[in-house]
Structure 1
Amino acid sequence: MAGPLDGVRILDLTSNFMGPYASLLLADMGADVSKIESRDGDTTREIGPCRNRGMSAIFLHLNRNKRSLVLDLKSPDGNAALKRMIASADVLLYSLRPQAMGRLGLSYEDARAINPGIVYCGMYGFGQNGPYADRPAYDDLIQAAVGMPVLQSRKSGPPDYVATAIADRVVGMAATSAVSMALYRRERSGEGQEVQVPMFETFAHFVMGDHLYGHTFVPAIGDWGYQRMMNPNRRPYRTLDGYIGVNVYIDKHWQRFFEVTGHPEMTHDPRFADIHGRTENIALLYDFLGRVFETKTTAEWIAIMTEADIPIIEMNTPESLLDDPHMKEVGFFGEQEHPSEGMLRTLGIPQNWSASSPELRYPAPRLGEHSVQLLTEYGFSGAEIDGLLRSGAARTAQPHAANSVE
């Protein structure tokens, strides 16, 4: 057994970032994920550096532990093949708008008629009972809609997006949680169900727990926005030779910090004596910290702060993180020989399990690499598979050498 979801069959009709991140997390936990792709493949196959077309860096990290099956769902034969697979699947995961699923004859009602026990999970822009229901959505749009760029602007000037696909990945994680809980309920009740995971509402839930702030109360008793998070001086601190991340946070941290930096009188200043006062005066404290940390080297501060048990860490770049001593010791970054892409650097599975430990089973697949294998496992005969391939309703992988960009 490889992971707690070993034996769970998932039909993954998602593409881009959000859905594939959700199915990646499920696949890493042992689920058998069939990545259903169009003839053009997932859009992320072409994003970033690659040795062969269709096998980009972004795609490789989002799609390990999955197998690829190309089906033309707009063709009668391809559509019928997927519906036949639904009969023996546990989960159908999709990121198309529900209206598009309905036009394909793949709505929840359609899927439930084939398999009443199916867990049918949709990830899309907006809840289906609101006026935005039919709108398309991407990470940038959802960040903007929830106000993330405005929150960033209080730190750094004009409204700006967070420098990662944060909405996509947060919503993907939420979908993973929802699917797992729906599977748990099915184990208890025997019932499948539809689970809707809209981006707008899910990301608003993620952000507004911090930033509703004074508007938590009716009427409001202050501004929106958690002051400490938005302060422009909440940033890594410059030292004599680099940068450090520091969280001087609870009372004892500040008391120790004032002592070790030679400012014991600040311990008794009512502005800084408790977390309420420090939050109200956070701008003063951030300015103070910035001036203090510039007086010593990174190594000196790490030694001083570690001795005082104050949270501190050296700032990495994505490149220097590869050589971080902790990451090296736990083996988070590994290397894997990919059958078509050569030697790759892999990201580890972050959790440790005492039993049913997950593992890296499959490298990210070439487009249609497992079409024949998956159709066979779902009960199609050789003749049926040949017919799907001849008609173009299904497709197998092309020789990777033909797509080389080297």
Structure 2
Amino acid sequence: MLEEALEGVVVLDFGQLIAGPVCGMWLADMGATVIKVEPPEGELGRQLGPPWLNGESVTALSGNRNKLGMAIDLKHPAAQAVVRRIIPGTDVLIENFRPGVMERLGLGGAALRALRPNLIRCSISAYGQEGPWSGRPGVDGIIQAATGLMSGISSPMGEPGKAPLPLADMTGALFATIAVLAALRRRDREGMGAELDISLYNSMLMLQNLGLATFHATGEVGTPGGSAAPYAAPNEALPTRDGWIMVAAYQQGRWGQLCAVIGHPELTEDPRFRTNGDRVRNRAALRDALFPIFQARDTAHWHATLVAADIIAAPVANHAEVTRTDQYASSGIEVSLDHPIAGTFRMPGFALGSRPAAPRHPPPRVGEHSRELLGRFGFDAAEIETLIVQNVIREAAPT
């Protein structure tokens, strides 16, 4: 079971906002003990909204399930000593501060290796720990712009398009998780720790593998195509009487079948549309031919017709429509969590190869497990009380 794969692995998660926390959450979903470390006022993600659930940020709720929470003021003179006592019992450390912050806190690579030689440190940043842009701040939309994604999903009218989700952050979290798993595998085999440098910039370039390979092969910058795939046609959203339907009928047999089921078999003989290459080159003319046909009937009609003919198609659905489908219901992707403040909330679970297991516990409140965790790492009751009184450590108020 994947939810038990990392049992026994201890992760110290200094992540904030999205990329770092989501990486930690996925490791927790696979069974790791993940300790969310944040300042006494809470990490930045807790301040990001709307939306809110009873004052709790949905951004923070969506990236922190299955973790234990510790709140520590890293700027306090006594905090460094606390973290140094925790590091020897830690297998993985995740942080997504700007490069240099951990070093200024006395927790740079050399200091961490001295405490735990085989520690796996995963640093996530906008542009990486080195290079001409390493010191620049960068958030998701900036990375989408800087890596060419925004240009690539522009509308045909030329307005830049931004994926309406934190795609760079989620992609960075994905590659960070893969890197941590690979480093754990190597440590099991060779006993070595690792310094992992994950940049959102490189992650987004990796995501655009085909597009960049195509550019290098041709030297041509793609033109804005909206929903259209630059390498195939028809492979885009077509307007219907009441919405849009995405159609992928670029394979030659499916192109002929599409022309037959829409009642226009003559399109297969049009020299502009005979091959996929012809259709890509003459995409504007292809749209002129197909748009009026599809606009004559509604989306449900076309979807049923095309699916019956084994033509790859799907309505362009919003989230309300997605969550009403029988496929969504049967996928088992959704999990429900009960939070003491936010109440019950739903989100996609961790589903790789099997239905997601029910979450073990909801996202922690700020400092919810501070006292318990310090005890696990060998602090006695008097030490813990002193740290709380000195405001080095915060514990959550009772609910």
TM over 0.5: yes
In 2, are the aligned partners of 1:17 and 1:169 still within 8 Å (CA)? Answer: yes
Q: Deviations over 1:179-202 (max 9, x none)?
A: 111111111111111010122222
| 1:160 Cα deviation from its structure 2 partner | 3.9
Residue 48 of structure 1 is matched in structure 2 by 50
**Residue 229 (structure 1) aligns with:** 229
Partners of 2:247 and 2:68 in 1: CA distance: 42
Comparing both chains, which one has the higher relative contact order based on Cα–Cα distances under 8 Å and sequence gaps of 6 or more? 1
State the 1:154 CA deviation: 5.0
Q: Does 1:258 align with 2:264?
A: no
Residue number in structure 2 paired with 1:304: 305
State the match for 1:384 in structure 2.
383
| Cα deviation code 1:69-120 (max 9, x no counterpart) | 0011122322211121111111000001231111111111111111011111
For 1:105 and 1:96, locate their aligned partners in 2 and report how far apart those are by CA, in whole Å.
14
Structure 2 gaps of 5+ residues are: none
* Residues 116/226 of structure 1: CA separation in 2 closer, same or farther (3 Å cut): farther
Partner of 1:179: 180
Contact 2:99–2:128 (CA<8 Å) still a contact in 1? Answer: no
Measured in 1, the distance between the counterparts of 2:205 and 2:4 equals 31
The equivalent of 2:118 in structure 1 is 117
2:372 is aligned with 1:373: yes
- Counterpart AA for 2:254: H
Q: How does 1:9-24 map to 2 (within 5 A)?
A: 9-24=10-25
Aligned residue for 2:322? 321
Q: Which shifted more, 321-330 or 174-183?
A: 321-330
> CA separation of 1:379/1:276 partners in 2, compared to 1, >3 Å: closer, same or farther?
farther
Distance 2:140 2:53 in 1: 27
**CA pair 211-270 structure 1, distance change in 2 beyond 3 A:** farther
User: Could you say which residue in structure 2 is the equivalent of 1:393?
Assistant: 392
C-alpha separation in 2, matches of 1:270 and 1:372: 74
Residues 264, 18 of structure 1: alpha-carbon distance in 2 compared, 3 angstrom cutoff: same
The one-letter code of the counterpart of 1:385 is: I
Letter aligned with residue 370 of structure 1: H
After the TM superposition, which residues 61-80 of structure 1 pair with which residues of structure 2 at under 5 Å, given as runs? 61-80=62-81
2:193 maps to a residue whose letter is G
- CA distance, structure 1, for counterparts of residue 30 and residue 271 of structure 2: 50
1:341 corresponds to which residue? 342
Instruction: Give me the whole-angstrom Cα distance separating, in 1, the residues matched to 2:239 and 2:85.
Output: 60
Tell me whether 1:31 sits opposite 2:32 in the alignment: yes
Aligned to 2:268: 267
Looking at structure 2, the residues matched to 95 and 150 of structure 1 have their Cα atoms a distance apart, in angstroms, of: 26
Helix, strand or coil at the partner of 1:62:
coil
Shift of residue 235, structure 1, vs aligned partner = 5.4
Does the aligned pair in 2 maintain the 1:154–1:230 contact within 8 Å? no
- Residue 169 of structure 1 pairs with residue 170 of structure 2: yes
SS of alignment partner, residue 156 of structure 2: helix
Contact 2:99/2:134, CA 8 A, preserved across alignment: no
Residue pair 1:211, 1:226 contacting (<8 A) in 2 also: no
Tell me, yes or no, if the aligned pair for 1:74 and 1:104 is still in contact at 8 Å: yes
For 1:9 and 1:58, the matched residues in 2 are separated by 24
Q: Tell me the CA shift for residue 247 of structure 1.
A: 1.9
Gaps of 5+ in 1: 401-406
Report if the CA contact (8 A) 1:151-1:225 is conserved.
Answer: yes
How big is the shift at 1:256?
Answer: 0.9
Which sits farther off after the overlay, 344-353 or 302-311?
Answer: 344-353
- Larger displacement relative to structure 2 (153-162 or 315-324): 153-162
The amino acid of 1:192's aligned partner reads G
Q: Is the 8 A contact 2:26 2:350 kept in 1?
A: no
The answer as to whether partners of 1:234 and 1:286 remain within 8 angstroms in 2 is: no
1:297 maps to a residue whose letter is: D
Aligned-residue RMSD, C-alpha: 2.4
Please tell me whether residue 143 in structure 1 is matched to residue 139 in structure 2.
Answer: no
- Contact persistence 1:3–1:359 (CA under 8 A): no
Contact 1:64 1:365 in 2 (8 A): yes
Letter in 2 for 1:10: V
Superimposed CA distance per residue, residues 267-291 of structure 1 (whole angstroms, 9 cap, x where no aligned partner)? 3444433332332223332333322
The alpha carbon displacement at 1:358 in A equals 4.7
Q: 1:210 to 1:226 in 2, by over 3 A?
A: farther
Distance 1:243 1:208 in 2: 28
What residue number does 2:362 align with? 363
Cα shift at 1:152: 3.3
- Cα deviation for residue 43 of structure 1 reads 1.5
- Per-residue CA shift, 1:27-57, capped at 9, x if unaligned? 222221111000121212132233443x211
